[in-house]
Amino acid sequence: MLLHPSATLFYATLITSMILTTSTNSWFIAWVGLEVNLLAFIPLILAKKNKYSVESALKYFLIQSLASIFIILASALADRHDLSLLILAMLLLKSGAAPSHQWMPSMVDGLSWPLFTTLMTLQKINPLILVFFLLKTNFIYMFIMLYIFISCLVGAVGGLTQTSLRKIIGYSSIAHLAWMLSALTSGSWLWSSYFVAYAFVLSSVTFLLNHTQMSALNQVSSMNKSYLSLVIAVSILSLGGLPPFTGFLPKLLVVQHLAATPESFLLAPLLASAYLSLFFYARVLLTSLILASSTTNVLNKPKETNSNLLVINLMGLLLPATCMIIL
């Protein structure tokens, strides 16, 4: 589907909507960008023809449409009332931050891995950019703090009971969103650097999971012991933020930044959630390295692996953080 001309058109429309939303100074044009983004993403979900994709598309459409309705309503009434808090709540709903996150884990199983990656990365850019420009009152500041604390808790605890790899990574994204919001509240563009690093690491994980067509923990245990399982393990540890992998680098930068600002109290819940998150990352790791079968599963035999791509993946996960530690 990624090579189909219609998919290229819809992905180009997604990129255009991001440029439109992030470059405007009008809430109406920003809303138009959000709507164009929604209308381009729905057909991509429906490209995978099964009942789960239809359910996912319907959930995504209803939630995003509800948030868009309140955003345009609040923007229209902005001259008479300060409704920036309502706009902020709807933007955080669109991005999937807890406690308004319930729609996201329930729909991810109906998505392919490339589309799941798009939802966890590109679809968060528009809301986060608009949230960044809404930080102007103490009340909004406290509201975001509440979302950060709850996202830390939900992102760390929610993945402990899941067996679906998409849901595990989905809850992981909620925890990572708390880190981005923490950097964002201090008025720094550091959150964008964190986002880029997170998108890179997540893409490396989902690339391998898509290659092996794995979607549940019990499928990880049926995978052969090989360099492929090693690279998957390294990718997962990098997503958890364990040094010396690339995923550790943005967390280190955020910790250093927050330690020098009045928001340093956020480090306690953020680091605690990172510690809990590593537990369910370690569960996937141990399943792939220790419990992996030494015999090939004929019914679920993976495709021939391109070793060059795996080497590039491994170098990308190791080199950035390693170079920073050495320097």
Region 27-36 average pLDDT: 89
Structure confidence at residue 306 (pLDDT):
54
Region 288-296 average pLDDT: 53
pLDDT band at 49 (very low <50, low <70, confident <90, very high): confident
Listed in sequence order, the DSSP H helices in 213-306 are: 217-220, 227-240, 248-259, 267-289
Measured in degrees and rounded to the nearest 5, phi and psi for residue 218 equal -70, -20
Structure confidence at residue 298 (pLDDT):
39
190-212: b (≥16 Cβ within 10 Å) or e? bbbbbbebbbbbbbbbbbbbebb
pLDDT band at 79 (very low <50, low <70, confident <90, very high): low
Structure confidence at residue 241 (pLDDT):
82
What gap in Å lies between CA 195 and CA 264, rounded to an integer? 20
Query: What is the tens place of the pLDDT at every residue in 214-240?
Result: 887 777 666 655 667 777 777 788 888
Pick the closest to residue 78 from 147, 32, 26, 129 (CA basis). 26
pLDDT band at 80 (very low <50, low <70, confident <90, very high): low
pLDDT band at 209 (very low <50, low <70, confident <90, very high): confident
pLDDT band at 146 (very low <50, low <70, confident <90, very high): very high
Q: Are 83 and 138 in contact (CB under 8 A)?
A: no
The pTM of this model reads 0.87
If one compares 7 and 33, the residue with the highest pLDDT of the two is 33
Q: Indicate if the pLDDT at residue 321 is higher than 80.
A: no
Q: Indicate if the pLDDT at residue 55 is higher than 80.
A: yes
What gap in Å lies between CA 261 and CA 259, rounded to an integer? 6
Q: Indicate if the pLDDT at residue 121 is higher than 80.
A: yes
Q: For residue 102, how many C-alpha atoms fall within 13 Å in the half-sphere facing its CB?
A: 3
Q: Indicate if the pLDDT at residue 276 is higher than 60.
A: yes
Structure confidence at residue 102 (pLDDT):
87
Structure confidence at residue 221 (pLDDT):
63
Q: Please, what is the average pLDDT of the chain?
A: 81
What gap in Å lies between CA 41 and CA 14, rounded to an integer? 7
Structure confidence at residue 297 (pLDDT):
45
Three-class secondary structure assignment of 81-135: CCCHHHHHHHHHHHHCCCCCCCHHHHHHHHCCHHHHHHHHCHHHHHHHHHHHCCC
Q: Indicate if the pLDDT at residue 65 is higher than 80.
A: yes
Q: For residue 22, how many C-alpha atoms fall within 13 Å in the half-sphere facing its CB?
A: 17
**pLDDT over 70, % of the chain:** 81
Q: Indicate if the pLDDT at residue 278 is higher than 50.
A: yes
Measured in degrees and rounded to the nearest 5, phi and psi for residue 164 equal -80, 130
SS3 291: coil
Task: Tell me how far the alpha carbon of residue 253 is from its chain's centroid.
Answer: 19
Structure confidence at residue 212 (pLDDT):
80
If one compares 191 and 224, the residue with the highest pLDDT of the two is 191
Distances (CA, A) of 117 to 1, 120, 198: 14, 5, 11
Q: Which two tokens stand for residue 266?
A: 């956020």
Structure confidence at residue 67 (pLDDT):
92
Region 205-219 average pLDDT: 81
Region 147-152 average pLDDT: 92
Structure confidence at residue 222 (pLDDT):
63
Region 11-32 average pLDDT: 88
Region 185-201 average pLDDT: 85
